[in-house]
Amino acid sequence: MVKERLCAKALEIHQDRLMAAANVVGLGIVSSPGAKDSDDVELAVYVQKKLPLESLDDADRIPSVVELPEGDDVHEIAVRVIEQGPVSLEDPTQLE
């Protein structure tokens, strides 16, 4: 079980590497599926489209876990890849 504080810290440490992967459009923190505790979260990597691992270069593969060293402990933070689709900025003049 990973609390949001640890997940946020892991996100801060790993964000540059995760955002550098092709197809990634955003990062976040989401509730773990099937979690009994609402504080159980994991790191979310939003991609334009989920692709088969074999079609990706090693640098573009998203790990299933990232490590967060904290003192003598190393926490493993689960990573979930979520298909988001293309992302674009909205024209603020169109929001009125």
Residue 2: CB atoms within 10 Å: 20
- What the block records as the tokens of 70 is 């904290």
pLDDT digits (tens, 9 = 90+) for 60-93: 999 999 999 988 999 999 999 999 987 777 776 7
Domains of the chain and any CATH numbers: 4-86 (3.30.300)
| Confidence (pTM) | 0.83
pLDDT digits (tens, 9 = 90+) for 14-58: 999 999 999 999 999 998 887 666 678 999 999 999 999 899 999
* Signed CA dihedral, 55, 60, 65, 67: sign only: positive
